[in-house]
A and B are shown apart, each in its own frame.
Chain A
């Protein structure tokens, strides 16, 4: 192994000489503590490195050793339920080894070498197999069926199969050529894993969040940008989707975010049960965590580590959802490294390659036909939070993401200040998949879904116009039917689009509940309008009774849904019934 010499250390960057023949993006071990680094630039004998660990204390003159590999991550059973950092170090076992505070230097491997699994072969000796073929399964965390695949680029005739008890490094399947296939595989994180052709996304990624499922549904395999200033609830949304989104595997990338938040995620996910699969949410989750005070270079790599893990499960044929919180921190890490490299800055100091890197990153999402047999589809849905400075969406990171994502869920500070959560601005948000997805929902959930959505969007649009008028002339000067419209839209905003992530009954809204609530808010408007036409005045309409019934339905526990639903119907019926005194002595 060639050893070079450290000639400069500044921030997360270092320079070394004497690394003859070193390649771009090759890994190196830097200094006496053997910190992990990566080659960013080679100029003559000088290599410029970004160091993934804390560089304070690195001395000029210390050795630098080539690893002759790009930055790669270990993949295999045991990843689910793990918390790893931006370079794949398992944070749980790291704490056992080096204590509460993260110390730079050697770390345990990502996957626990002591783990044992029972391998159930799907192929036999003599079979001809090719890349992507399912060789067999092991039961991963919580019984999750982990599929062992023929690694990309490999094929051959099966010569030996080891069924039953195996460790991560044991030869499980031996082909007639090449190394034996083990449960543990490695993949360079910056290179997308190969897959078959893309297939059309035909069904929505259901989130359990009404405003997304009802108004802006995104396809499985789609990409969403969720920009919002601080305090608008990006992280709460990302966490809600990680908890309640309909996916087989969730990869949560906490990129440059808060340590306390990650502690909350860890504790809460361990406790929560996935409403669909009935198992612990943590059993389906891989957390990639690089908090804002952890080294900046590893923040940049954390997104790629997360996507590589996602692709690994996608290749098995699973539906994977990736929450990236937040891509702004990823972009800022690029900017920080770029400016230290004295690169010519682009807009707002970001590297000029920002847009193309953002595009490449998002293109790793999608729904594909997986390689190999049996025939199967896998998908990666990518939901990226973006933190625009000052909440201004015209900034480069938001714009770079919007050009490549298929949906925008725009968060609005004004809504957040009104405590309207999720603070999604329905007038600027969109989903390019919406049309196809509501057709699916019409067929699979409720035939009137798309019609209700169109009515709701119309009501919200008229509400916005009317509120502008009301702010000039005063709401008292409005006609009754306009006041009814304002009241109905308020109910729609409050009880359908608004949803509490902290109320155990409301945090997850199955599609059926979403529809009933939406339909009721719309009926308040339509039936109320009919009552007004029949001669009742707005002041006589029992609006508050309907609102109370809606609140009851929204907050009802699963076993109380039917009863609350009945109460809503009764309250709505009273709208059209003439002259009914609604429990009032007035």
Chain B
């Protein structure tokens, strides 16, 4: 039975919104088709269902839409997307229309875009280490399966290159079946290309689904693109048992689309004009990551956001940080000094790191190793600031050592360039930095760790001789 109803003429239109009156049995989230004479139909969604007035949010450009002459069909269906394994290798628009010239995918199921929340009692705590090949992440801000770890970037910083490197390196850590879902949200053609070119070789594209809503594409569609992508990611992970990595760029554009709709509705604005429900809205995206009982698959999210003016207290990074399980923060200063990836490890954090490291996952005493590097690096950064005031000669010897350590840490451990580092190489690189320091600087390490390292170095020296 079709519940579709068609009406002629809208009461009003403003920006992306069309106001209807006299609509029967409108449902919240219902799919709508808006047709103007002589133009292709536009898609929309009911965002306010009322007996008197019903508000439809149109996903595409409303230029030239004349309220008096439109034909509006409420389809009776809720906004949903086709999901399935056959989407792998495809490039789709923000809500699943083909962008690669091929026919629409048939799919295996229709999933609602508004995904139901995972019952917390059915979640498994994420703890499987993902080797990204990036020392600043693997060693100091470890990523685990099922985590949502955003990259906080700034305009012009290489966040997409970093994401591409991770995708390139992190695939099939234990030869388990994996997939990549990439969502372009309002980014430029050039940015999309940067990303895709990096992981095209090696046949990775066959294991990916691309959802592309680029800068020139309709703004409002940006609100649905990540949801369509996550519906597919959940299907691949929890029905087919794949390890799915979802890369979303750029969340800042998403939030701006959200603000645009809120403003069009004349809602009470919150901080910097963003709507008060932005936390809830972002959570409905970011919380769609995890590992569940009864499925070998996982959804791991790597969202990218651009901090306006590099301001980490801006509402977008701020609310994101409250929802996600840590953040990888890129630094303009490191970028200027030619460090790649320019990850500032001090404000970076992986909340799930402790569950994913240690003897069972990475190496024994990983935590203490990381803490030791952190402590001296933090001290070195403080010393760097002090040098500007008192000069290097005014520093205590330990501060001078930390200062030199910070330089080396940024150049060698963080600044690995394009090479892929195994975890073992990352750990060794860290130890090499620590080797230069006297034991009184290494109080985070246990005597057993120091003795073990000493033995290892002796053995290596003997091997060489």
Contact = CB atoms under 8 A, between A and B. Distances in A.
Report the contact-size class of chain A (Cβ under 8 Å from the partner): 35 or more
A502 B270 contact: no
Contacts of A544: 440, 443
A506 B114 CA distance: 43
A58 interface: yes
Interface stretch (A98-106, A126-134, A443-451, A527-535): A98-106
Interface in B264-286: 267-271, 276-277, 279-280, 283-284, 286
Interface in B388-445: 389-391, 393-396, 399, 440, 443
Interface string B28-60: 110000000000000000011111101100000
Contacts of A293: 117, 280, 283-284, 287-288
A54 interface: yes
Nearest to A475: B396
Q: Which residue among B276, B313, B354, B371 has the maximum number of chain A CB atoms within 10 Å of its CB?
A: B276
A59 interface: yes
Given A260-B147, A335-B276, A83 B115 contact: no
Interface in A324-377: 329, 332, 335-336, 339, 342, 345, 348-349
B312 to A, nearest CB: 8
A268 B354 CA distance: 13
B395 A418 contact: no
B367 interface: yes
Contacts of A258: 287, 323, 325
A58 B393 CA distance: 71
A58 B54 CA distance: 13
Interface in A77-113: 83, 91-92, 94-95, 99-103
Contacts of B399: 475
Contact of A548 (B146, B323, B443): B443
Given A336-B280, A349-B269, A100 B119 contact: yes
A83 B390 contact: no
B313 A391 contact: yes
A100 B120 contact: no
B125 interface: yes
Interface residues of B, number: 85
Interface in B124-182: 124-126, 146-147
A54 B114 contact: yes
B74 to A, nearest CB: 10
B292 interface: yes
B190 interface: no
A2 B391 CA distance: 81
B69 interface: no
A258 B352 CA distance: 12
B328 to A, nearest CB: 12
Contacts of B386: 471, 474
A100 B279 contact: no
Interface stretch (A4-12, A138-146, A457-465, A512-520): A4-12
Contacts of B326: 231
A427 interface: no
Interface SS majority for chain B:
mixed
Given A260-B146, A264-B355, A418 B378 contact: yes
Contact of A7 (B51, B238, B269, B294): B51
B117 A102 contact: yes
B279 A329 contact: yes
Contacts of B29: 56-57
Nearest to B120: A262
B460 interface: no
A347 B262 CA distance: 19
Interface string B344-367: 001101011011000000000001
A256 to B, nearest CB: 7
Contacts of B313: 389-392
A8 B50 contact: yes
B321 interface: yes
A455 interface: no
B88 to A, nearest CB: 23
25 contacts: A7-B52, A8-B50, A9-B49, A10-B50, A56-B112, A57-B78, A60-B49, A100-B293, A256-B279, A258-B323, A259-B120, A260-B125, A260-B352, A261-B351, A262-B120, A291-B117, A292-B283, A292-B287, A293-B283, A296-B280, A335-B270, A342-B268, A389-B313, A476-B396, A502-B354
Given A15-B50, A349-B269, A474-B391, 10 more contacts: A100-B294, A258-B325, A259-B123, A259-B287, A289-B120, A332-B280, A336-B280, A390-B318, A477-B394, A544-B440
Among all A-B residue pairs, the 3 with the closest Cβ atoms = A474-B394, A390-B313, A292-B283
